[in-house]
Chain A
Amino acid sequence: MSAAELSRMTVAELGQSLSTGSVSAVELAQSYLDRIERHKDLNAFLDVRPEVTLAQARAADARIARGEGTPLTGIPIAHKDIFVTRDFASTASSRMLKGYMSPFDATVVEKLAGAGMVALGKLNCDEFAMGSSNENSFYGNVLNPWDRSAVPGGSSGGSAAAVAARIAPAATATDTGGSIREPAAFSGITGIKPTYGRASRWGMIAFASSLDQAGIMTQSAEDAALIFNSMLGFDPRDSTSVERPAEDYTRSLGSGLNGLRIGVPKEFFGEGLQPDVEKAVREALAEYVKLGAKLVDISLPNAELGIPVYYVIAPAECSSNLSRFDGVRYGHRAAEYGDLIDMIKKSRKEGFGPEPRRRILIGTYVLSHGYYDAYYIQAQKVRRIIADEFQQAFKQCDIIAGPVTTSVAFGFGEKAADPVAMYLSDLYTIPGSLAGIPGMSLPCGFGAKNRPVGLQLMSNYFEEAKLLGVAHRYQQATDWHTRIPKDFT
């Protein structure tokens, strides 16, 4: 098989080829390493160590030869640089953790390695996963493979660009307010975050602990389901991990859609939604109707308050989580300082970029004496109102659908100077994150400047299998998810 043919194959197809021996894990790993090298200009990868990758690939080949492979053994995967890894540096795209070598692997990394997946390296992202364009990385911008003048989205921008450019067949990612769905939409790939608590947060560098959730970026919903089977599950090391029996996330991939009620929230089609995005999303909804689903008008009246709620809760939790970076135990220490407090202050100023510093300050303020009830507790109360509205909506429908973003990917620098404009990028993704429900983005067409458009699908808690089945049915009937940007075919 040619390298180009291999790069177009899905995880499901690669699994077949590996098990029948038509390609080896080492050949596959080498072919991806070559592609990563050739497309270095995207700046998607922060750390690649071919000797580590090839050693894992050799072990995978031996495992397959012994007849002990899983459906994922030998398939390459790249990890967002928010997951700590023993074999690659773990930086959170921050100067604070430049060169940091973790003494352990994140649970998600460990589970996927346990299934035999081969790690290609670490992926660029917004610093500490804070951002919507990947412009907040200390290590530079990631380019959108569809249009190098556009952002790939964020915070999982490297993950999205890597899958879009087919320099990785799949990539881990994390979502706090939309950091999987928004870059998936901007980069024209499939991305899903599961229910909060499904994926272990152990070894995921913490940003906002009541929101952070790991997920996956792939070419298709089918691939996401296959990987979820090995990636998710209870972890005693994460105190918010959900204890439930293991599930087969592929079980609904063959389901039809007859009678499926798709709720369409009117608040997701209001002022601000660009006509090109609306057109592509409406066409996707029409496709669902053709496939047997029924559209139901629903309302999430307070969803738009998601942004102010999020920008109280996420900074509050971030200011607490990031207090561990003090220049004493690990991370950056300033070269010159006076006393201990001065050392900590200078180290944190130099180690953190502008966005983490800004969020730490907001968080410190809303948690400070006299403001805690007015801001933090009030935000937690409105969070419950939003979550309850989803439960009301799910009485009338099985799945909620709408746009992921108001517009297609914007250009570099367009929103970088205006934090509030940047924060509005996550208008449609934050409500689901606050509720903690599963959400995904599927490619559903192209808008202005021929940049991709994403369709957002959300389900109720623990209904990932249903959600993936509904997405898969669309991908069987359409070919948007198979489109590849022209320089990467």
Chain B
Amino acid sequence: MALTLSDVKRIAHLARIEITEGEAAQTLGQLNDIFVMIERLQSVDTSRIEPMSHPLGGSQRLRPDEAVNANVRDAALGNAPAQQDGLFLVPKVIE
């Protein structure tokens, strides 16, 4: 199953990555080459196989429910592209 140009643009939108017409056309060819390789998986009979989500299986370990207060606000904000009064600044979202 081959992707179309509009698929590529839709995926790029979902992934929140800007893409031009020219880039979308180039990406389309590359993604289709990759999907030809991936399609080989469809021929494997996996009807009785459980998906493997983690190499060692088992369930997720939970830590004790104890409050941890690692106050790193200022250090974390130090890497923000724009910040003020302890807040991250973004363009206005509500008109």
Q: Which residues of A contact B (CB under 8 A)?
A: 100-101, 103-104, 195-197, 210, 236, 239-243, 302, 305, 307-309, 311-312, 319, 323, 326-333, 337-346, 348-349, 352, 357-358, 360-362, 364-366, 368, 374-375, 377-385, 387, 418-420, 423, 434-437, 461
Q: Which residues of B contact A (CB under 8 A)?
A: 3, 7-8, 11-12, 14-19, 27, 30-31, 33-34, 37-42, 44, 46, 49-56, 60-61, 63, 72, 75-76, 78-82, 88, 90-91, 93
Contact of A240 among B54, B72, B82, B90 (CB under 8 A): B54
Smallest CB gap from B72: residue in A: A103
* Contact (A362, B34) CB under 8 Å given A343-B91, A348-B17, A382-B44: yes
Contact A239 B27 (CB under 8 A): no
| B16 cross-chain contacts in A, Cβ below 8 A | 323, 326, 341, 344-345, 348
Contact A333 B81 (CB under 8 A): yes
Contact of A311 among B15, B27, B37 (CB under 8 A): B37
Contact B78 A101 (CB under 8 A): yes
Smallest CB gap from A364: residue in B: B15
B30 to nearest A CB, angstroms?
Answer: 6
A154 to nearest B CB, angstroms?
Answer: 18
Smallest CB gap from A366: residue in B: B38
Smallest CB gap from B83: residue in A: A329
| B17 cross-chain contacts in A, Cβ below 8 A | 345, 348-349, 352, 357, 360-361
A45 to nearest B CB, angstroms?
Answer: 22
Contact A239 B18 (CB under 8 A): no
Taken together as a complex, chains A and B put the C-alpha atoms of A360 and B19 apart, in Å, by 13
| A341 cross-chain contacts in B, Cβ below 8 A | 16
| B76 cross-chain contacts in A, Cβ below 8 A | 103, 329-330
Contact of B31 among A312, A362, A387, A461 (CB under 8 A): A362
Contact A340 B55 (CB under 8 A): no
Question: Majority SS of interface residues in chain A?
Answer: helix
Contact A346 B18 (CB under 8 A): yes
Contact A312 B41 (CB under 8 A): yes
B64 to nearest A CB, angstroms?
Answer: 9
| A302 cross-chain contacts in B, Cβ below 8 A | 44
Q: Which of A240, A366, A377: most chain B CB closer than 10 A?
A: A240
| A309 cross-chain contacts in B, Cβ below 8 A | 41
Contact B40 A381 (CB under 8 A): no
Contact B50 A385 (CB under 8 A): no
Contact B88 A243 (CB under 8 A): no
Taken together as a complex, chains A and B put the C-alpha atoms of A259 and B38 apart, in Å, by 41
| A197 cross-chain contacts in B, Cβ below 8 A | 55-56
* Contact (A419, B34) CB under 8 Å given A239-B60, A344-B16, A360-B17: yes
| A364 cross-chain contacts in B, Cβ below 8 A | 11, 14-15
Contact of A382 among B3, B46, B56 (CB under 8 A): B46
* Contact (A103, B75) CB under 8 Å given A328-B81, A329-B88, A384-B51: yes
* Contact (A210, B53) CB under 8 Å given A100-B79, A352-B17: yes
Contact B81 A358 (CB under 8 A): no
Q: List 23 A-B contacts (CB under 8 A).
A: A101-B79, A103-B76, A243-B61, A309-B41, A330-B76, A338-B91, A342-B18, A345-B16, A357-B17, A358-B27, A358-B34, A361-B27, A365-B3, A366-B38, A378-B46, A380-B52, A381-B49, A381-B52, A382-B49, A384-B52, A419-B30, A419-B33, A436-B55
| A243 cross-chain contacts in B, Cβ below 8 A | 61
Contact of B52 among A311, A338, A387 (CB under 8 A): A387
| B54 cross-chain contacts in A, Cβ below 8 A | 210, 240
Smallest CB gap from A243: residue in B: B61
B93 to nearest A CB, angstroms?
Answer: 5
Q: Which of B19, B38, B63, B90: most chain A CB closer than 10 A?
A: B38
| A339 cross-chain contacts in B, Cβ below 8 A | 91, 93
Smallest CB gap from B74: residue in A: A103
Taken together as a complex, chains A and B put the C-alpha atoms of A222 and B8 apart, in Å, by 49
Taken together as a complex, chains A and B put the C-alpha atoms of A383 and B41 apart, in Å, by 10
Contact A374 B63 (CB under 8 A): no
Contact of B30 among A327, A332, A358 (CB under 8 A): A358
| B52 cross-chain contacts in A, Cβ below 8 A | 380-381, 383-384, 387
A282 to nearest B CB, angstroms?
Answer: 29
Smallest CB gap from B49: residue in A: A381
Question: Closest 7 A-B residue pairs measured CB to CB?
Answer: A436-B55, A380-B51, A103-B75, A333-B81, A381-B46, A384-B52, A330-B79
Smallest CB gap from A236: residue in B: B63
* Contact (A461, B56) CB under 8 Å given A330-B79, A340-B90, A352-B17: yes
